[in-house]
Chains A and B, each alone.
Chain A
Amino acid sequence: MSIVIDTGNRIAAKAAIMAKPDVVAAYPITPQTTLVEAIAEYYAKKEFTGEYICVESEHSAMSACIGASAAGSRTFTATSSHGLLLMHEMLHWAALARLPVVMCNINRVIGPGWNIWVDENDSISQRDTGWIQFYCSSNQEIYDTVIQAFKIAEHANILLPVMVNLNAFILSHTSMPAEIPEQRTVDDFLGPYIPGWKLDIENPVTFGNIIGPDSYIKVRYAMQQAQMQAKQLIPQVAKEWKKHSGFFHGDLIEYFECEDAEYILLAMGAIGAESKIAIKELRSKGHKVGLARVRVFRPFPTEDIIALGKQAQLIVIDRNISVGNEGALFTETKAAVSGIPETSVQGYIAGLGGKDVTYQDIETMVEKAMTGKAAHQLWYGVEEDR
C-alpha cells in the first residue's frame, strides 16, 4: 500500500495498468490525454507489458479493443467527449458482442463551440448502448472503480463493457491523494480473464453474422438480464474490494446523511462530491437533508430510488440535458418513483459547459426546492442572469 498524490487521469492509468490488460488501444483527446500519456510512460518503462496500439481515431480505438477482446484478451481504453461520440457505433458493437472492454471516459462538453470543460452529455448520450456506467467523485474512487470495473465486466453472468466516467479537470487534472494497493492485492482480486467466447482456431465459430428476429430479440433480452444481474453484482464487488483494499464508495448509490432526511438530493460525479459539503451546511441550519450520489447510472438503481422516494421528497441536479425534454437523471428518477403517492421530484439543470457548481450553489438550489419552487426542472445559472 502506498499513498500517491496525483491527478485523476494518472491514477486511472495506474489502476488500468495494475489490472494488467493484454491490449490497450487509444487515441488522445483533451482532457483524456494525460491518461494515455501515462500509459505510454508505463509502456516505455516496461511496467505495462501488454500491447499498446496508438490508433488513428477513437472509432478504431474501440474497434481494436473489440478485436482484441474477441481474441480473448483483457482490454482497456480511454476517451472523452467527441471521441466517445465517434465511438458510438462501436460502443453498441462491444456491448452486443458481449465483450468486457473497460474504458475511462472523461466527461467533457460537446461542441460547437469548442469547450473542454465538464458536463455529462457525452456519456449520457451513450446510455442506451448497453454499457455499464459508473460516475466517480474522487481520485480514490477512480482507482477503486477502474479495478472493480474489470471484475464486473468480466464476470461470467455479465460480460458487458464498463465505462468509468470522471469529470473533466475537476477530477481528471486535479491532484488528490489516493491509496494504491500492492500489485498482488489487485491480482488476487481480479484473477485471470476467462473469456465468454473467443476467436479460436480449434473451435472455428462465426461471430456476429446475420441473425433473424427470433434470435435477435433473445440477444437483447440476455443483455438486459445481464444488466439486471449487475445490480446485484456491483454491490457484492464493492464489498469484496473493501475487504481487499479498505475502500468503499457506495453500492449503486452512495448515501450521505439520508437516515432521517425529509429531502434527498440526487446528483452524480463531482457535483455529487460537492453536495456533501452543501448537505453539512444545510444540516447545520437545521434542515433534514441527505444526499444520494448516483454512482451507477446503468444499470439504473430503480429499486434504491424507489426506497428513497418512499422516505423523502427528491431533488435532482443534472449536469446534462436531453434537449427537448429534461436532464436524464431527473426523468429517470421521476419514472422510478411514479407509483409512489405524495412523492415529489424537483430538478435542476446546472453546470453545463463547465459552469462552476459550488456547494453554495447547491445549498441555494436545495433551499429553493424545499419551498417547492423548483417543481418543474429549473436551469440554475440561467434565470439569475436575466
Chain B
Amino acid sequence: MAIKDIPVEECMLQGNAACPGCPATMGLRLVLKALGKKTVMVIPACCTAVIESLYPHTSFDVPVMNIAFEAAAAGASGVEAALRKQGREDITVVAWAGDGGTYDIGLQALSGAFERGTNFIYICYNNQIYSNTGIQRSGATPYAAWTTTTVGGKAEFRKEMGEIVLAHHIPYAAQTCISYPEDVYAKVMKAKTIKGPKYIEILAPCPPGWRFSMDSTVEMGRLAVDCGAWAMWECENDVMTFSGKSKLLLEKKVPRKPVEDWIKHQGRFSHLFKPQRDEEKLKVIENHIDRTWERYRALYLQK
C-alpha cells in the first residue's frame, strides 16, 4: 500500500470549518476514502461537529447524524439495527468521536455497544484534550501537559483506552496515527471487511491544543511514535501485532528517541523547560514510557 493507491475520490468536501493544520480533517479524508459513499456517520459533540460547517452547509458527502456527547456508540447501535432490519448490511456504520467522547463521557455507551457485538466501526480521533471546548484535560491528556483545567500541568497519566477496548475481545482493534496515512487507510480498509465491533484510534496532534506550529502536525505525530509516547498496533481476534516504527520499538530493533524530542516542540510542556528545566518531571515522563513499553513487551511481544 502506497499513498498513490489511496483513492482520489473525496467524501470530505472542501470548505469545511477546521483550523489550519487540523489532524481531524486529515483523518476524515482518509477514513472516508477507505469507506466510500456507502457509509453512515454518527458524530457526537467534538471538533468535527464544527468542522461539518454551519447549517444548511455540510462538508460531508455521506449521510451524517449528529448526536449528544456521550451517545455516539448507542446512536450508532440504533442506526445499525435499523439498517440490518432493512437488509442494508452493505452500508458501513461508523461512529467518529474525539477522546473526550470516547475515553470519558462516552465510555459506557461504547463498552455497551462492543459487548453487544454491534456491527460498526468506532473511530476515536485522539487529540489528547477537549479541544472543541477550548483545551481542557481529558482522560487521554498525558502527564504534565498544560490545559486550561490543568494549569500547572496534568498530575495524572493518561489511561490506555486501547487496552480497555482489548478487554472487550472484539474482532478488531487498532491504534494508528495521522502521520502515517497508509497505515490509517489500511486499518480502516481491514475494519470494513470484518463483521462485529471494530475500534480504531488515531492519534491527532492538535496545533492550537498542543501549542505547536500549524505546519508541524505530521511531524508531531511521527515524533510521538518515535519516542514511544504513542503506539501503533492492531489486534485481530486477540492476535496482537505492532505496526511500523512501534513494531521496531517493541522488538528493540531501533532505539527509542528521548521523549524530550517530542515535547520540546509543544507549548503545553513549555513549563518543563522554562524558566528552568524540571528534571524531575522530565524523568517521570521518560520512566513512564519505559515502563509502558516493558509492559507491552511482556504482554504482546511474540516469543
Contact = CB atoms under 8 A, between A and B. Distances in A.
A205 B52 CA distance: 11
A57 B112 contact: yes
Nearest to A92: B68
A60 B64 contact: no
Given A54-B116, A201-B39, A210-B50, A67 B77 contact: yes
Interface residues of A, number: 42
Interface in A1-32: 22-23, 25
Q: Interface of chain B, helix or strand or loop or mixed?
A: mixed
Contact of B112 (A51, A55, A212): A55
Contacts, number: 163
Nearest to B69: A89
Interface residues of B, number: 45
Interface in B23-43: 37-40, 42
Given A53-B77, A59-B109, A63-B109, A204 B63 contact: yes
A209 B63 contact: no
Contact of B68 (A63, A68, A199): A63
A71 B40 CA distance: 9
A371 interface: no
A104 B130 CA distance: 36
B19 interface: no
Contacts of A23: 78, 81-82, 85
B81 A53 contact: yes
Contacts of B108: 56-57, 60
Interface string B56-71: 1010111111111011
B76 interface: yes
A204 B82 contact: no
Interface of B: 37-40, 42, 49-50, 52-56, 58, 60-68, 70-71, 73-86, 91, 108-109, 111-112, 115-116
7 contacts: A53-B77, A63-B71, A67-B82, A71-B79, A73-B82, A206-B52, A209-B49
Given A55-B77, A59-B109, 19 more contacts: A22-B85, A51-B82, A53-B77, A59-B70, A59-B71, A59-B74, A61-B74, A66-B71, A66-B78, A67-B74, A67-B79, A70-B82, A93-B67, A199-B64, A199-B65, A201-B37, A205-B63, A206-B66, A209-B66
